[in-house]
């Protein structure tokens, strides 16, 4: 199933497609939020040397966020999804 790619397509899409698109967006927003929160908590120094956090930190952060998301996240995606579903009725 191909998801709508813009707002006009989304508004005219069947409810099941809208729900799938809403869930996808909610998960993406949760991932961005988690990534930014983790980025803000990173230490500026690393046991790997001075350049390690900036060079490799994003790879580790992405892997950690993916693992958190696969485990159910923090509930933000569910809250966003439910709010979007209420709004689209």
4 falls within a domain = no
pLDDT tens sequence across 11-54: 566 668 888 888 999 999 999 999 999 888 876 655 555 555 56
Number of folded domains that form the chain: 1
- Domain limits for position 69: 51-89
Quote the radius of gyration of the chain (alpha carbons, Å): 17
**What is the per-residue pLDDT for 30?**
94
DSSP secondary structure code for residue 42 in this structure: -
DSSP secondary structure code for residue 72 in this structure: T
43 falls within a domain = no
18 falls within a domain = no
Section 59-86 average pLDDT: 90
84 falls within a domain = yes
C-beta separation of 69 from 15 below 8 A? no
Q: How confident is the model at residue 69 (pLDDT cuts 50, 70, 90)?
A: confident
């Amino acid at each position: 199933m191909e998801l709508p790619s813009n707002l006009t397509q989304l508004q005219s899409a069947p409810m099941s497609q809208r729900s799938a698109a809403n869930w996808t967006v909610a998960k993406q927003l949760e991932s961005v939020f988690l990534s930014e929160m983790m980025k803000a908590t990173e230490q500026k120094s690393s046991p790997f040397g001075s350049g390690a956090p900036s060079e490799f930190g994003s790879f580790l952060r992405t892997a950690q966020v993916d693992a958190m998301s696969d485990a159910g996240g923090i509930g933000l995606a569910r809250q966003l999804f439910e709010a979007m579903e209420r709004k689209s009725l």
